[in-house]
Amino acid sequence: MSQLTERAYAKLNLALHVRGKLPDGRHRIETIFAFCEDGDELTAEPADDLSLSITGPFADALQANDDNLVLQAARTLRDAAYVTAGAALVLDKRLPVASGIGGGSADAGAALRLLTRMWATDPNVAENVAPALGADVRACLRSQSCRGEGAGDQLEPIDLGLAGIPVLLTNPRIPLSTGAVFAGWDGVDGGPLGNWREGRNDLETPAIGLVPEIADVLGWLRGQPDATFVRMSGSGATCFAMFDDIAARDAAAGACPADWWHLATRLR
């Protein structure tokens, strides 16, 4: 089998309500996941053992060691599916790390999809092992819009009717620890998540407390002509704006401050 490629689609939380704690200590959330057309790229070739190399603009922020979620996903799937083959994996890291748009979870989901194809395993095996790799991995494995509850790993597919909507992602190039942001949540249950447009991101306040520049990004996006919806994704620091047309999105992308990272893309 020749080289296979899989995209690790950038994840967006259109809304994220923190409702409390689960018995295992994780936070209980209600969220709406959506996914962009673009993201990291993962390739694999058949090999006797598992290996990973990392390239791309954000390669220096990761190490190809046993803690990398791509290798963890590969080993977990191989063990669960009783596979003896290996794979030479290359991750083109195009998205910033620790930025609220999937990151390692999206890469792990891509690894599970790619190796399920390469090793011809039952797709249900990847679905079953995904939650053990991280709360968002199952959503990123599917990479389709859905509602997430529990720790974010109890999923219900939904049709948002947003496929093809232009969206601009941007952040101030400051990594932000998910654990630190959740630790800063005030513990107040603001109520259930209904319509995502009328919802909120309960992690926005603690994230801004850690990285005040997020408020600048949100304010800038809200000031862009024809931006129809603006919110921070996940635990930050990436924020996003939807636009009615590509021209308006591209105009905003062209005006984005030079010291911020940005990605002009569309929703899947």
Q: What stretch of H or E contains 162?
A: none
Q: CA distances (Å), 237 to each of 12, 126, 218, 233, in order?
A: 12, 29, 10, 7
Tokens of 246: 């590509």
Determine which one of 40, 136, 153, 202 is catalytic.
136
Work out the burial of residue 246: count CB atoms within 10 Å of its CB; fewer than 13 is exposed, 13-18 middle, 19 or more buried.
middle
Determine which one of 11, 38, 93, 202 is catalytic.
11
11 has catalytic annotation? yes
Beta strand extents in the chain (DSSP E only): 4-21, 27-47, 50-55, 86-92, 146-149, 154-157, 166-171, 227-232, 239-243, 261-266
Q: What is the DSSP letter of 225?
A: T
Q: What's the rounded Cα separation, in Å, for the pair 234 and 224?
A: 22
136 has catalytic annotation? yes
Residues 109 and 137: beta-carbon distance below 8 Å: yes
Residues 6 and 42: beta-carbon distance below 8 Å: yes
Question: Hey, which residues are catalytic here?
Answer: 11, 136
